[in-house]
Chains A and B, each alone.
Chain A
Amino acid sequence: MMFNIRVGGEAGQGMNTIGTLLAKSLLRLGYHVFTSKDYMSRIRGGHNYSDVRFSPEPQQSGTEKVDILLALNEETWEIHRNTLGDEGIVVFDQDDFSPEGQGPKKKGISLKKKAEEIGDRRIGGVIALGLIHKMLGLDLKQFKKVLEEKFSGEILEKNLQGLDWGYAEGEPIFSVSEGKGLKGTKLISGNDAIGLGALVGGVQFYSAYPMTPSTGVLNFLASQGERFNILVEQAEDEIAAINMALGASFGGVRAMTGTSGGGFSLMVEGVGLAGITETPLVILNAQRPGPATGLPTRTEQGDLGFVIHAAQGEFPRIVLAPRGVSEAFYQTIRALNLADRYQLPVIILSDQFLGDSEQTVMEFDPEKVKIDRGKLIKTHEEETPYLRYKFTEDGISPRLIPGEKGEVVLADSDEHNQAGNIIEDSETRSKMVEKRMKRMETIKEEMEPPLYEGPDPQNADFILVSWGANYGPVEEGRKALEEDGFKLGHYSFQDIWPLPGGNWEKTLQTKPWILIENNYSGQLGSLLKQNGTGSPEVFIRKYDGRPFTGDEIKRRIKEEVGPRG
């Protein structure tokens, strides 16, 4: 059982708040919840909507199908009427408009008028949610708790009054499976999970320039900064943001910066600076469609090729693209450890879909969190003087925190000798390039191969290949197709660069595969091709700024490969 409620209206009508309240109530009723947001780059007006999808089973994808459409204006009805199935119903403010035409069931209710009657015009949404709870046969107890935690006094009373009134206006028309009473689950967005990962991973400095859709991470860390001694600074531009983070990292603290593609473009020289100075740094790139300003509030996987090549010259880097919200948390911590251990830039490649979607996660496990600072040292015990870029077997030099009596630390963006001083001679230059690049071999060994799901690859008709947060929609589509008799495997890449080894190479050389990417050119596909996989049989792509959904994946694969079973 999957159920999807869409709340739509114009910016400023509070779709986010309504969606969040509903999602929290469902979470506490024991459901797995997945929410996604579709919003325009404006503060008032336009058309925005939020989806709240729930099920007793885990899920990581949105859907094309809507079961209840809460239309806060007539435009919402016009835009979304075709998403409602035969069983679907539109809920609308009967004093505002009346949905015309045949099709889905309709339920009018007094929202604005009733809210004003109760004495708070902001509670229209809560009235509607009371009605929706009744329609779904859900208890209001959890919802009331959520409201009690959020409001108090007269405002709380009015909210509760509205909720009860809305509830009384409806009748149970859907029969939904009961939630499983999950204990300790949380509903977290990708951005908050990255922020939480940064916090738990020991970040003490975060500098960023606000840029959608990465700003959620900046907000989250700013809200926790004082309590956890994290210095969060809004920089004057992204160039300052990355250079500040590098300054803090040179000082010895764990540092991070975050942006979207446009800001990342400004940071590029700084990425190279992290490379040549061997300064650990984690950079979040929450992708949105480009180039230039592109579609600010929408999603795309268009920056993969860009981030693995960004900056002039050659130097090692790592790129990780978390599969979902839970992974966003753990991969951020891993990114911080990798940055310290290999003394290089690590890029977390997220996107608007992952950043803004909330997902039910089981409790994050403190036991799984380890902080590994690699060769960072507090005191230099070997022969003096300390050499920041000392040649070593593995290409990684001990990194001294500046401030030890008798020793100094020199980092340099010019090519340098072991002490960090400028050089131009060919021998030292060659040795330094080799020192930096040889780390790539060790890193490659510890990159995790793509996650594989499905039958033994040899028995699969096709192998699906995805990366990053496309994992959820693709996996949902794959499972649905399995029920229709398809035999499909699925490789989902999370470690992108350096590309991990593994069985996938052989499998993709021998089996027909379907590449699924949220971009035009198939950027992971190009990378795989360079590794000798050949081309995919089918390429399912999307570059309209919207995320894939599970049902869309199912439909499009069927269109491409025909019926099975």
Chain B
Amino acid sequence: MTDANDTLPCPSEEGGPLANADEATLLADLRVVIDRRPTASESAAPLAPMHEGARLGRYAIGRLLGEGGMARVYRAIDTETGQAVAVKFLKAQYQGDGPIAQRFEREARTMATIQHANVVRILGVERCGEAQALVMELVPNGSLRRRLDTEFQSKTSIPLGETVSLIRQAAAGIDAAHRMGIIHRDIKPSNLLLDAQGTVKVADFGAIRVMEGATWLTGMGQQIGTPGYMSPEQCQGSRVTPASDVYSLGATLFELITGRVPFHVEEASPFAMMLKHISEPAPDPRAFRSETPAWLAAVVAKSLEKTPHNRFATAGDFATALANGDTISEDAARESIARLPGHQINIHAVRTQLQHLSHRAITCWACRCARRVQSLNGDPRVEAALAMAEATVTEASDRASDTSLTRALDRIRSLRAASLRAAYTGEHSPVSPAAVEAARAAAAAAACAAARCIDDASADAAFAARSAVAALTLADQGVKTFWKTAKQDYQMLLKATAGQEGTVGRPLSESLLKSFE
């Protein structure tokens, strides 16, 4: 610890009138204040050397149009032709000859070869010293995100016919890119732009491609967004294929129809969203917009299939399905909807992803879920799930020393007491929202335990991950199956770690095992 008394200049007269402090003391204090400010590398990244009024080759740079994680986009004028264009610069920290800059340029050049009415045209790549810039067609009418926001504010929806047309155009553009071997990886409303005629233009290919390696998980320290459009395989860190773009476009279609993304998490939590994309069936859009035709609901369901090969084979097929939509028979539509995605899950993938989640983030989410449970009516399954949560957290916390973990445990304990009281005073429906929420709390707690365990006991992690999944399916399977699964898992765990030292996979106490019965 720093001893402020020794290392810092003494401030002026304590509590006295600052205005009378002598100048030397005031300046000395100001030096301390300035010295404490974050350095350039700690604070926001420095601006790229581009600014309004600058010149880049034949382009005169105008106002800033937008800014993403890695790049800024300016409006610019081509001084030779008078044409307005958009110029995208990698931010200063990504410029130079690093791998990101190299990929940026390579992808830009590949993108320039795509000539399609539904893809933003790349006009060239410019260099200005270290700075690299992508010159693109200017698409003036904003994005589908803006359109959705406008509709939301006016409490209206985009007409279904128009929705189908917009997504069909986007699918055609994405298909053109796929044919060139390029996967977008980040299809979402804000990357689908509208030109003056209302034509959809898919944007932001190159920049996203260069983001390989910086997944939303590794980036979560900076920003916990709502990765509402990511495919299950992306969530699991598996190989991304054109089918991933189909899924993301399906999620976008869902939002255009219903005004909301397929999966909703109360708190912006990548972990919660990850589990939902991986394991929760996509809802039927008709539940949110009843006039949605069955064929369109079927197209949505097919595009949001958990397994890539169950989705449309190509984005082109997606476009065709939308174009021929109303010719799909009702029976075929029903069949497609009936084949809802199941709860299959790749435990290994979940475990891998858990390793990237910070303990703190998971625990915070557990607490938030737990708070949610608190506001719901009692249900025996609430109690059951919370008991499970407590068991997993208790086990994990034996070797942990983290305030938030302790708090999570305290909170779960108090919820357990509250839910017990509630359970004895009310009627319960067979499957209540409370049970689902409780299951998620248990899932989060289990995941928390997993994160704790991961250092030296992969079997523990597998158990916790499995428990998380089991908890998530609690509402569907009923509590008995849930306990059975958890118990089996735990017994497997005990066998797996027997005799090993330095793990937390120690035998569970008799009393806790009995509580499983």
Bound together: no
Which B residues fall within an 8 A CB radius of A?
none
